C-alpha cells in the first residue's frame, strides 16, 4: 500500500508473540502497510518466565526488530502491557499505553486503526476499542505459537538444532537465530523441565470425560505493613514467590483448606479464633488463563493482623522459604510471582495504577 493512501495515521497490532512467528510477521507487515506509524502492544508483560511466557517483553521486541529492515524499525513503537485479568482495565491500559507512546514520539494521530485476526473467542478483545478503526484480516499463516514452544522445550536434552530445522517455515530466520542463542541460557533448561512436568500433569487427566476444573485456596496475610509470602520449592514456578495456598480437600470448606494450607506452608501459629477475627475479605479469582496447570479457580482469603509484631514463621510442606515482605516492595517484585499471585495482591493492596 502506498504511504500516501494509508488507512489511518497510526495502526495498532496486539499480541503476545511467544515467540514471534511468520503469522505475526505477516500481520506486522499489514500493520505497517496501513499507517506511517505502527504501535505493537506486547501482552503478558512483566511476568515471571514460564513455559507459556518464556520471553520478556524486551526479548520479544528484539525478535521483531531483528525481523524488520532499518526503515521499518524506525516506524514501529513497542508498548508493553501486563495481564490484568480484568478485560476493562486491560483495554484502558492498552489505550493509554498507545496514546502515551504516540505522544512521546511527537505524533498526534487523528485516526487509529486496529489490525487483527479473529482466531477464536480469545480474540473478542478486538471489539473493545471503540473509536479505533478495526481492520479484521484473514489468517496470514498456519504457524502456532503453542506448537512452536512445545517443539522448542521438548527438544531439551536432545539438542535444539533439529527442532529449529523443522521450524524454518514457521518462524522468521531472526527468531530461529534468537531461539538458538537463547537455548544456551540457564533459563532454557529450567523451563524445559517445567514444561515436561506440566505436560505429564495434563496427560494424567487427559482421558477424563470433561476437562477438569480445579479448586484452590490462597491466603493473603497482612501484618504491620508486610505480607506473608512463600517461595516455591518445586515446579510449576520453582523458586518464584507465591501466596500460601493449595488445592481444596474433599471434606473441607474453602476456609478450612485456607487455614490448613497456611499452617502447612508457613507454620503460622495463631489460634483459629484469632485468625477468624482478622478475616477481612474472601474473593474468587477465576480467569481461565490464570494458571498453567489448567482451569483453576481460587478463593483468596485476606487476613489483616493489624500492627502487632510480625509472628514467627517457618517454611513447610512444598515451600522452600517463607518470609514477611514489606508491601512497598511488592511492585518491584512483579516478575518473580507465580501465575496471577501478583495481581491478587494488586487487588487487595492497589500496587499498580490505572495507567501502568
The domain boundary, picked from 140, 171, 188, lies at 188
Q: Do 35 and 182 reside in the same domain of the chain? A: yes
Enumerate the β-bridge partners of residue 228.
324
pLDDT score at 193: 94
**Residue 205 within any structural domain of the chain:** no
Q: What is the pLDDT of residues 275-307, one digit of tens each?
A: 999 999 999 999 999 999 999 999 999 999 999
What is the rounded distance in angstroms from the CA atom of residue 51 to the CA atom of residue 292? 9
The residue range of the domain holding 219 is 214-349
Q: Do 184 and 224 reside in the same domain of the chain? A: no
Q: Do 36 and 170 reside in the same domain of the chain? A: yes
pLDDT score at 212: 92
**Residue 18 within any structural domain of the chain:** yes
Whether pTM exceeds 0.85: yes
**Residue 67 within any structural domain of the chain:** yes
Q: Do 267 and 158 reside in the same domain of the chain? A: no
Please report, for residues 71, 83, 199, the alpha-carbon distance to residue 55 in angstroms, rounded to integers and kept in the order given.
25, 15, 19
**Residue 316 within any structural domain of the chain:** yes
The C-alpha angle with vertex 348 and arms to 347 and 351, in degrees rounded to 5, equals 65
pLDDT score at 120: 67
- Listed as ranges, residues in the chain with pLDDT below 70 are 1-5, 120-122, 140, 354-356
Query: How many percent of the chain have pLDDT more than 70?
Result: 97
The tally of domains found in the chain comes to 2
**Residue 62 within any structural domain of the chain:** yes
Q: Do 147 and 64 reside in the same domain of the chain? A: yes
C-alpha cell at 159: 539438542
CATH assignment of the domain containing 178: 3.40.50.620
Q: What is the pLDDT of residues 198-247, one digit of tens each?
A: 999 989 988 889 989 999 999 999 999 999 999 999 889 999 999 999 99
Q: Do 31 and 162 reside in the same domain of the chain? A: yes
Are 18 and 143 in contact by the 8 Å Cβ rule? The answer is: no
**Residue 209 within any structural domain of the chain:** no
CATH assignment of the domain containing 319: 3.90.79.10
pLDDT score at 139: 75
Q: Do 33 and 171 reside in the same domain of the chain? A: yes
**Residue 201 within any structural domain of the chain:** no
Q: Do 29 and 129 reside in the same domain of the chain? A: yes
Q: Do 234 and 159 reside in the same domain of the chain? A: no
Q: Do 221 and 183 reside in the same domain of the chain? A: no
**Residue 197 within any structural domain of the chain:** no
Q: Do 171 and 249 reside in the same domain of the chain? A: no
pLDDT score at 123: 74
Q: Do 49 and 162 reside in the same domain of the chain? A: yes
Amino acid at each position: 500500500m502506498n504511504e500516501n493512501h494509508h488507512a489511518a495515521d497510526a495502526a495498532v497490532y496486539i499480541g503476545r508473540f511467544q515467540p514471534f512467528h511468520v503469522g505475526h510477521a505477516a500481520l506486522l507487515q499489514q500493520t505497517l502497510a496501513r499507517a506511517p506509524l505502527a504501535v505493537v502492544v506486547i501482552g503478558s508483560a512483566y511476568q515471571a518466565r514460564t513455559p507459556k511466557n518464556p520471553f520478556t517483553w524486551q526479548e520479544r521486541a528484539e525478535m521483531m526488530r531483528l525481523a524488520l529492515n532499518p526503515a521499518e524499525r524506525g516506524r514501529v513503537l513497542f508498548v508493553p502491557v501486563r495481564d490484568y485479568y480484568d478485560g476493562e482495565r486491560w483495554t484502558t491500559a492498552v489505550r493509554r499505553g498507545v496514546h502515551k507512546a504516540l505522544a512521546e514520539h511527537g505524533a498526534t494521530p487523528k485516526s487509529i486503526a486496529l489490525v487483527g485476526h479473529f482466531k477464536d473467542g480469545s480474540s473478542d478483545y478486538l471489539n473493545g476499542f471503540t473509536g479505533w478503526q478495526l481492520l479484521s484480516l484473514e489468517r496470514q499463516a498456519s504457524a502456532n505459537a503453542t506448537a512452536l514452544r512445545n517443539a522448542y522445550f521438548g527438544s531439551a536434552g536432545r539438542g535444539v538444532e533439529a527442532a529449529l530445522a523443522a521450524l524454518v517455515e514457521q518462524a522468521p530466520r531472526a527468531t530461529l537465530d534468537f531461539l538458538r542463542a537463547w537455548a544456551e541460557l540457564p533459563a532454557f533448561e529450567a523451563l524445559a523441565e517445567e514444561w515436561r512436568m506440566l505436560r505429564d500433569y495434563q496427560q494424567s487427566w487427559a482421558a477424563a470425560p470433561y476437562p477438569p476444573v480445579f479448586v484452590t485456596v490462597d491466603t493473603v496475610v497482612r501484618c504491620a505493613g508486610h505480607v506473608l509470602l512463600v517461595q516455591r520449592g518445586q515446579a510449576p514456578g520453582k523458586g518464584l514467590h507465591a501466596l500460601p495456598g493449595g488445592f481444596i480437600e474433599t471434606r473441607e470448606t474453602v476456609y478450612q483448606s485456607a487455614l490448613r494450607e497456611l499452617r502447612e506452608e508457613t507454620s503460622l501459629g495463631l489460634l483459629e479464633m484469632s485468625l477468624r477475627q482478622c478475616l477481612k475479605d474472601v474473593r474468587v479469582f477465576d480467569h481461565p488463563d490464570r494458571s498453567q496447570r489448567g482451569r483453576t479457580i481460587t478463593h483468596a482469603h485476606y487476613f489483616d493482623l493489624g500492627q502487632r509484631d510480625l509472628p514467627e514463621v517457618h517454611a513447610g510442606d512444598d515451600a522452600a522459604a517463607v518470609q514477611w515482605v514489606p508491601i512497598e516492595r511488592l511492585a518491584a517484585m512483579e516478575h518473580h510471582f507465580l501465575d496471577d499471585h501478583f495481581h491478587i495482591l494488586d487487588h487487595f493492596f492497589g500496587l499498580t495504577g490505572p495507567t501502568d
